Amino acid sequence: MNSKDDDKGIGGGTIRPTANGVGRRRFLGGTLATAAATTFGFPAIVRAQEERRVVLYCPESPDLSSKIAKAFEAETGIAVNVQYGGTNVIVNRLLAERANPNADVWYGGGGLLSFLYAKREGITTPYTPPEFKDVPVQQGNVYLRDPDWHFVGAEVFVIGFAYNPKVVPKAEAPKTWEDLLDPKWKGQIQMPNPAASGTATLTVLSRMMEEIRKGRSEKEAWAFFEQLNKSVTLYPESGAAPTRAVAKGDTKIGICFSFMPWGLAARGESVDFILPASTPVIANPVALVKGSKRPENGKRLYNFILGEKGQQILADYSQIVLNRKVKPTTPLSFDDVAKNAVPMDLAWAQANYDRIRNEWRGRFG
């Protein structure tokens, strides 16, 4: 991290303390402002302004998050302070702020595994959103929400294959994970690096769980990735990079979340998505932060994200949304992808997440 990065918070605001921690001008200005507020009754104004905003922590794209924020503010008059960062950055910040939370709502994180961890660490608080009060904990093999309502899925992510129809005819594209081992794909596949990408980590964990569920061992799963490794030319740090490479013609197959190729295709790129038989499908949740300073505003934003307007925004970004009142804009609906979802042992995934990532580094990193 360079010196400029060291001066910035998660939202990009510059922090420039003096050697004593607070500059003289800043200290005097703060003192005078406090005195004026006390004299003229400004605390009430400050509280009123505070009540007309809500703080959202979100690792999703700034473009998507800002559209949600603007639409919510237009409807309610409540300003949304969106603070961005990678999932790990956000979780670590929530942990650090646990005694004095800054955020009110947390949305997104590459799936619900990070939310399960947050629940265990006491970061989130239960809330039953009226729009989703009848949503089951699980539908088929897909977990949609926490049993105690600590989080609810706003949409689902499904892992599959990006391909370029101008380069690979659909009939010849891989249809299963085993198809990727065909020698014809040697040197033609990109997969995100599990050491950095949640997309790829989920891919590896899912394969492990599948082998264990079938009565075999992790050894068989590692044998699969050893074979796959012979065909993979690059393990980029970004989960979206393989899809971009496919669209540009730099590789033939990219392992990805479905919204990545669909989103590029909606902008005119030549790329499409293959839903494999038996693949991970996982909810991407929203949650309220425990001890937030603006809980009622947080609930309103939470409800908005799950409501028709918020879900329509997500749908317009090629997400497979879970509000049944919103017409899907994606080629596949939740019911379509749920049929291909593999069983997920979430407790096992949580317990073994770091171990599997570390072993991946040792083998392929």
Digits of tens for pLDDT over the chain (365 positions)? Answer: 433 333 333 333 332 333 333 333 333 334 334 444 444 454 555 455 567 999 999 999 899 999 999 999 999 999 999 999 888 889 999 999 999 999 999 999 888 989 999 999 999 999 999 999 999 999 999 999 999 999 999 999 999 999 999 999 999 999 999 999 999 999 999 999 988 777 788 899 999 999 998 899 999 999 999 999 999 999 998 889 999 999 999 999 999 999 999 999 999 999 999 999 999 999 999 999 999 999 999 999 999 999 999 999 999 999 999 999 999 899 999 999 999 999 999 999 989 988 998 999 999 97
| pTM value > 0.85 | no
Query: Taking the CA of residue 332 as centre, how many other CA atoms within 13 Å lie in the half-sphere pointing to its CB?
Result: 24
Domains of the chain: 25-156+282-338 (3.40.190.10), 159-281+343-364 (3.40.190.10)
Q: How far is it, in rounded angstroms, from Cα 255 to Cα 236?
A: 11
Q: In the prediction, which pLDDT does 25 show?
A: 32
Rg of the chain on CA atoms, in Å: 22
Q: In the prediction, which pLDDT does 199 show?
A: 77
DSSP-derived letter for residue 53 is E
Q: In the prediction, which pLDDT does 49 show?
A: 56
At residue 287's C-alpha, the angle toward residues 96 and 77, to 5°, is 100
Q: How far is CA 14 from CA 4, 9, 53, in A?
A: 9, 7, 21
Q: In the prediction, which pLDDT does 34 show?
A: 41
| Cα 10 off chain centre by | 16
- CA dihedral for 189, 194, 197, 198, sign (positive or negative): positive
